[in-house]
Amino acid sequence: MIRVQAEAFDPGRELSRFAAGRSDIGAVASFTGLVRDSHRGERILAMTLEHYPGMTERELERIEAEARQRWPLDDSLVIHRYGRMLPGEPIVLVATASAHRAAALDACAFLMDWLKTKAPFWKCEETPSGEHWVEARESDDRAAARW
């Protein structure tokens, strides 16, 4: 399932719901990305995520479908926020469920790597010296290319 929302969420509570009441799942992997209070030595006061409504959901659904084709997943979940958020707040949660450990862990890493290079989100940091758009990292392209 894909959720793109402005509202804050609690990854722990989402994970408790995910896979609740199912006894056919042997493994659940998750990744949570959070706003950090500093970046390259500069203090981060807040972070605003812009996105491309419509294309965001479409890309995330495509990425999720790709994961479910590559690995035997029983379930998967991607929640991504947009708008303004403060240090410590979760930005993204990816969770995967499978009968098998490697499938859950690999699919979770894959979903994050592809999301990082394909989902149309852009981070703008508020720092004491002003607002800066975050630059994409080459390491993210390399991480996505390994799959």
Partner 1 sequence: MRIRYFAWLKQRTGCVEEELDLPAEIETVADLVTYLGERHPRFAEAASGRGVVRCAVDQTHAEPTARLAGAREVAFFPPVTGG
Structure tokens at 49: 């995520």
C-alpha distances in Å from residue 103, one per residue of 64, 70, 93, 114, 137? 14, 9, 17, 16, 26
| Residue choice 135, 139, 145, 146 for contact with partner 1 (CB under 8 A) | 135
Number of C-beta neighbours around residue 136 at 10 A: 12
Site for a second copy contains 1 (CB under 8 A) = no
User: Would you give the binding string for partner 1 spanning residues 48-77, x where CB under 8 A is met?
Assistant: -xxxx-xx--xx------------------
Query: What's the N-to-C CA distance of the chain in angstroms?
Result: 21
Min dist CB 54 to a second copy, Å, is: 26
Site for a second copy contains 30 (CB under 8 A) = yes
Min dist CB 125 to a second copy, Å, is: 13
C-alpha distances in Å from residue 68, one per residue of 16, 77, 96? 21, 11, 9
Min dist CB 69 to a second copy, Å, is: 21
Q: Please check whether residue 74 is in contact with residue 25, taking contact to mean a CB–CB distance below 8 angstroms.
A: yes
Site for partner 1 contains 118 (CB under 8 A) = yes
Report d(CA 130, CA 53) in Å as an integer.
26
DSSP H/E element including 116: helix 101-118
Q: Please check whether residue 82 is in contact with residue 6, taking contact to mean a CB–CB distance below 8 angstroms.
A: yes
**Residue 50 interacts with which of partner 1, a second copy, none, CB < 5 to 8 Å by class:** partner 1
Q: Which stretches of the chain bind partner 1, using CB under 8 A?
A: 33, 49-52, 54-55, 58-59, 80, 91-92, 101, 112, 115-124, 133-136
Q: Which stretches of the chain bind a second copy, using CB under 8 A?
A: 10-17, 19, 21-38, 86-88, 99, 101-102, 104-105, 108-109, 112, 116, 139, 143
